[in-house]
Amino acid sequence: MLAVDWKLILLGLLGLAGLYLVGSFFVTPLKYLYRLFAYAAVGIILLVMVNLGGSFFGFHIAFNPFTVLTAGLLQVPGVILLVLLTLMI
C-alpha cells in the first residue's frame, strides 16, 4: 500500500492557506482604491452638472480633491453641502 505522509499534506494545506491570506492582503486595498476612484468619478460628474447649471447664474464650484471626494462619497447631499458652503463664502 501507499504510505501517506500527513506532515507533507498538512504543510501543503498550510501553504495554500498562507497563499490565500497573502493574496487577500494585496487584493483588499486595490478594492478600496477602485471604490475611491469610482466615487471620485461620480463626484466629478455631479460637479460638472452643478457647474453647467450654475453657469446660467454665475455660480461655480472649484474642482479639487476635497470637493470631488465630498461630492462622490456623499453624492447629492454632498453637492448640496458644497453649494451651501460656496454661497456662504
Other beta carbons less than 10 A from residue 78's beta carbon: 21
Indicate the domain borders of the chain.
6-88
Q: How far apart are CA 23 and CA 38, in angstroms?
A: 23
pLDDT at 74: 87
Separation between Cα atoms, residue 14 and residue 51, nearest integer Å: 56
User: For residues 12 and 63, what is the distance between their CA atoms, to the nearest angstrom?
Assistant: 52
The reported pLDDT for the residue numbered 52 is: 93
User: Residue 4 has which C-alpha cell?
Assistant: 501517506
- Taking only the tens place, the pLDDT of each residue in 23-40 is 888 888 888 888 888 988
pTM for this entry = 0.66
Q: Chunk the chain into consecutive blocks of 10 residues (it has 89) and report each block's average pLDDT, rounded to whole numbers.
A: 75 90 83 88 90 89 88 88 89
The answer to whether residues 47 and 75 touch, using CB atoms and an 8 Å cutoff, is: no
Question: What is the pLDDT at residue 14?
Answer: 92
C-alpha cell at position 37: 476612484
